[in-house]
Amino acid sequence: MIHITSLDDGLETFKALGSDTRIQILNILLENEQMSMNQLATELNISNGALTGHVKKLEECGLINISNESAGHGNQKMCSVTQDRIIVDIKKPIDYKNVFETEIKVGQFSRHQVWPTCGIATSESVIGEFDDIRYFNHPDRFTANILWFTKGYVEYTIPNLIPSNQRITQLSISAELSSEAPGIDNNWPSDISFYINDTKIGMWTSPGDFGDVHGMFTPQWWPQNWNQYGLLKLLVINDYGTYIDGLKISDVSTLSLHLDYNSDIRLRLAVENDSEHVGGITLYGKSFGNYDQDIRVAINYAPLVAAQP
């Protein structure tokens, strides 16, 4: 997989793909797994010399591999595709002035109370046994990349390392989430509630536990009938209220939460027993789902005196 995170970094790949002939080469190799240079030239009806330039471009950006194999009385160059995915993930550069950013792994929760069905796993293996809540206390949980449960909560301590004498003007949290169905079910709603320091700031209803296709970053060993990917949700709390993906969900604000440089900040994700849709939660981190990230947090701040109403 090639993961492009900026246009500049992806320039050579874009150039390599900016040719009808090179796209044809990739399509032919995808259909045939491996072909010699002679076979490719014949298939494309071009000379070996013309083919060499195209193949070199594809090899330089890591899209194909060329190996020498013995055949008859000599060696011949064999071509094969080395990448199964090209993901372009770009965003507007962040102005880091007056912003503190951090990421929290999904297994680094400070408190929890969960009910089966549940589980927790790293990118390499499941931690312990399915539906055994004891493994949420296993030391390996700190390296976990995915967790899921039917109801209950996990709570994270957000590092607050903004400078002294500053207050928090905005708290932005992004995470990949879905429901948790027995097995998988794309139509399995679940009401997921968000808390900051024991104050409920809002709720979002996940539409399902997605398993129709393999998650882009989900490991190949992960079974197809397990949770595959979620939806990337952006939770923002500022001076005017709380928003999910730009839609206001409550009037709870950074002002009402009284957040400053001395504040402890605890984020809780919960599926409550009295919700209309008790459909569980799956929380995806790096190496799982469709977004190669853990729980991302950005804290905007401003001087206490200047920020007073």
Q: Is the pLDDT of residue 307 over 50?
A: no
**pLDDT one-digit tens code per residue, 90-105:** 765 555 579 999 999 9
CB 143 within 8 A of CB 259: no
Strand partners, 233: 175
What pLDDT was estimated at residue 77? 86
CA distances from 35 to 28, 55, 67, 303 (A): 9, 12, 10, 64
**pLDDT one-digit tens code per residue, 144-176:** 999 999 999 999 999 999 999 999 999 999 999
CB 178 within 8 A of CB 283: no
pLDDT-based confidence at 83, cuts 50/70/90? Answer: confident
Strand partners, 5: none
What pLDDT was estimated at residue 3? 74
- Residue 288 and residue 190: Cα distance in Å, rounded? 20
What pLDDT was estimated at residue 70? 64
Q: In what order do the strands lie in the sheet with 74-81?
A: 34-36, 74-81, 64-71
Q: Which fold has domain 2-86?
A: Arc Repressor Mutant, subunit A (1.10.10)
For 68-121, the three-class secondary structure string (H helix, E strand, C coil) is: EEEECCEEEEEEEECCCCEEECCCCCCCCCCEEEEEECCCCCCEEEEEEEEEEE
pLDDT-based confidence at 239, cuts 50/70/90? Answer: very high
- For 288, counting Cβ atoms within 10 Å of its Cβ (0-12 exposed, 13-18 middle, 19+ buried), the class is buried
pLDDT-based confidence at 1, cuts 50/70/90? Answer: low
Q: Which two tokens stand for residue 187?
A: 């139509």
CB 271 within 8 A of CB 280: yes
Q: Which fold has domain 94-307?
A: Jelly Rolls (2.60.120)
Q: Which two tokens stand for residue 38?
A: 């002679």
- Residue 43 and residue 299: Cα distance in Å, rounded? 56
What pLDDT was estimated at residue 86? 81
Angle at alpha carbon of residue 177, lines to 290 and 3, rounded to 5°: 20
**pLDDT one-digit tens code per residue, 104-139:** 999 999 999 999 999 999 999 999 999 999 999 999
- Residue 282 and residue 233: Cα distance in Å, rounded? 13
Domain segments of the chain as ranges: 2-86, 94-307
